[in-house]
Each structure stands twice: as C-alpha cells, then as structure tokens.
C-alpha cells in the first residue's frame, strides 16, 4: 500500500510554541502549585507528558472559586482566554504563563478594538469552543457567533450598522468566504477580516485534493480538536473511505481491504511521534 503523508501534518507553530514553553519550564523556579487551564493540546499523550511535570489541569469554575494561595501559577493554552482570567489571576495573586498563539491574540485584539468602537462583531466560529469564547470575551461578549448556514440566515443587521466580521482561526475557509459575501451583500460597508490561520488553510486545501487522489484517508487527531474534526469533515465529503483515529491502535484492517493508496494527515494538535506510528503501522499493512 502506498502511503502519502501530508506535508503539513503535525503540531502547528502555535501548538509547537506552547508545548516548547511548557516543556522548557524549570519547575523549581515557578510558584507552586502549577495548573493549566484546560488541555495544552487535545492529545492524551501530550496531556500525560504535561502531568508528569507536576502540572495539574483546572477548569474555569475551579479557578473562579479557588482561594488565594491554592493556585501558584496558571498556564494559559494556545487557544487563549478572555480578560476575566487575567483579572482573577491578579486578584488571587496567581502568576501567569501565557502561551496564547500570537495568531489567536491578533483576533482577540480585533474583537477588543471593534467592540470599543461600538461595532457589531460577527464572529464566524464554533459556539462553545474555547478559542471562540476567549475572543468573544475580548469583545465584551457581544459578538454574534455564526456556526452554520442556519445561523447566517437568522442574522439580523441593518445596512447602515457598523459591522466587523472576524473568524475563529480554524474555521472552514469556504464557509467564511460565503458568510463574508452574504454579509457584504446586505451591508456594503461591513469590514471583513480573514483571520483564518494559514496552517489551517493549507491543510484544508491539501486534503480537498488528496481525498480525491487517494482511495482512503486517515485523519489523526482528537475528537475534541476543532481543526482535526474539520479536516475529517472536508475529506469525508470527497471520499467516503475517510477515517479518524487518535493513534495507531485504532486503525482497522477492514478499512484498507483492496486499497492501494492512502493519504495520512493530522490536526495541529497531533504530535509527530503519533503520525510516525500510524504511518509505520500502515506501511507494514497493519
Ligand atoms: S492553528 Fe494556527 S492559530 Fe491555531 S494555534 Fe496553531 S498556529 Fe495558532
């Protein structure tokens, strides 16, 4: 079986940066106990490595109700958070290690600036997603979040309203462009900012082509990872023999009967060692 490996598979620069910051952390010099708000990346293997360093996971509710001294240091993941987390940390004397991806930080700034200028912010993104919630918080939680065509159809605004359109970094580029055109048609002055990350864009463009050129597609990534899920959806539309796995152990022989060419890609939160394991298992025909 011929294996075609994505040229973009694996950690994106934002996740790589966050992982390097945490890996290089000298625990002896950091105020303890150390917590991380959510998962560094949606990958169980990476989560285990972080825990091994003595870093525990915490959620927003526990952070909010923690007493002064219960948390020494808080790590913010690449997805970023809203300003309220920094305010809580300040009040509770918690040190912050901020690994927010610079590209996510840029969208947060846009939300903040346009909210202050009294624009209506339309945020194309998945409702409830951590990055989207954080961006919305910087926009004073007033953004209209558009996750589907249905949401778009329900969107109400006048042609004279001041509108800024921004996007979750891992959004589907086609949907973002369609949404932008739809809004612009109704309000020609709407300001559209393409804030989709190129890493995501490149992976999406590649998989559209490769899903048609290969007999089967494997997308490696966690079910919780928005960009892995998006890759899976795009490929599945083009090629019904598209499968999603988190590791090599989840591959099934039956998926590849009679298959001569398979394409492997991975979400931005998938480490290179897992991609290698999957490729190796497939190369030896499982
Ligand atoms: S996908 Fe792009 S925006 Fe998101 S963390 Fe990675 S580099 Fe940053």
Q: What is the CATH number of the domain that holds 161?
A: 3.40.1010.20
One DSSP character per residue, 227-278 reads HHHHHHHHHHHH-S-EEEESSGGG--GGGGTT--EEEEEE-TT--HHHHHHH
Ligand 1 site residues, Cβ closer than 6 angstroms: 12-15, 78, 101, 103-104, 169-170, 197, 199-200, 227, 268
- Clarify whether residues 37 and 90 are in a common domain: yes
Mutation to probe ligand 1, out of 10, 15, 168, 194 (largest number of atoms < 8 A from CB): 15
- Clarify whether residues 186 and 210 are in a common domain: no
In degrees rounded to 5, what are phi and psi of residue 34? Answer: -105, 130
Stated as kind and residue range, the H or E segment containing 49 is helix 44-52
* Global confidence as pTM: 0.88
User: For this structure, is 131 an active site residue?
Assistant: yes
Which residue in the list 131, 133, 206, 224 is annotated as catalytic? Answer: 131
Mutation to probe ligand 1, out of 43, 98, 104, 129 (largest number of atoms < 8 A from CB): 104
Q: Which of 101, 132, 165 is the last residue of a domain?
A: 101
Q: Which of 67, 101, 135 is the last residue of a domain?
A: 101
Contact between residue 99 and residue 76 where contact means Cβ atoms under 8 Å apart = yes
Helix residue ranges per DSSP H, 66-122: 83-91, 102-116
The half-sphere exposure of 157 on its side-chain side, counting CA atoms within 13 A, is 25
At CA 129, angle to CA 234 and CA 87, rounded to 5?
150
Contact between residue 228 and residue 275 where contact means Cβ atoms under 8 Å apart = no
Across the 286 residues of the chain, what is the mean pLDDT of every consecutive 10-residue run? 94 94 95 96 87 96 98 97 98 98 98 98 96 98 97 92 96 92 96 92 94 98 89 97 96 94 95 95 82
């Amino acid at each position: 079986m011929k294996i075609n490996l994505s040229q973009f598979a694996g950690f994106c620069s934002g996740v790589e940066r966050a992982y390097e910051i945490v890996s290089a952390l000298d625990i002896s010099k950091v105020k303890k106990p150390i917590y991380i708000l959510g998962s560094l990346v949606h990958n169980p293997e990476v989560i285990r490595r972080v825990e091994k360093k003595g870093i525990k996971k915490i959620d927003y509710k526990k952070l909010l109700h923690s007493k002064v001294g219960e948390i020494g240091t808080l790590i913010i993941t690449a997805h970023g958070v809203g300003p309220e987390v920094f305010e809580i940390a300040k009040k509770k004397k918690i040190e912050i290690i901020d690994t927010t991806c610079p590209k996510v930080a840029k969208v947060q700034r846009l939300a903040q600036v346009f909210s202050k200028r009294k624009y209506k912010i339309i945020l194309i993104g998945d409702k409830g997603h951590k990055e989207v919630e954080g961006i919305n918080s910087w926009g004073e939680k007033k953004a209209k979040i558009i996750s589907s065509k249905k949401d778009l159809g329900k969107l109400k605004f006048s042609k004279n309203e001041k509108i800024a359109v921004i996007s979750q970094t891992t959004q589907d580029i086609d949907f973002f462009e369609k949404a932008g055109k739809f809004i612009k048609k109704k309000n020609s002055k709407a300001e559209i900012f393409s804030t989709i990350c190129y890493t995501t864009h490149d992976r999406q463009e590649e998989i559209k082509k490769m899903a048609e050129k290969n007999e089967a597609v494997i997308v490696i990534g966690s079910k919780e990872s928005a960009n892995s899920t998006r890759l899976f959806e795009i490929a599945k539309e083009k090629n019904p023999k598209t499968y999603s796995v988190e590791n090599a152990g989840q591959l099934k022989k039956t998926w590849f009967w009679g298959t001569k060419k398979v394409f492997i890609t991975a979400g931005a939160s998938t480490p290179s060692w897992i991609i290698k394991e999957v490729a190796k298992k497939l190369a030896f025909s499982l």
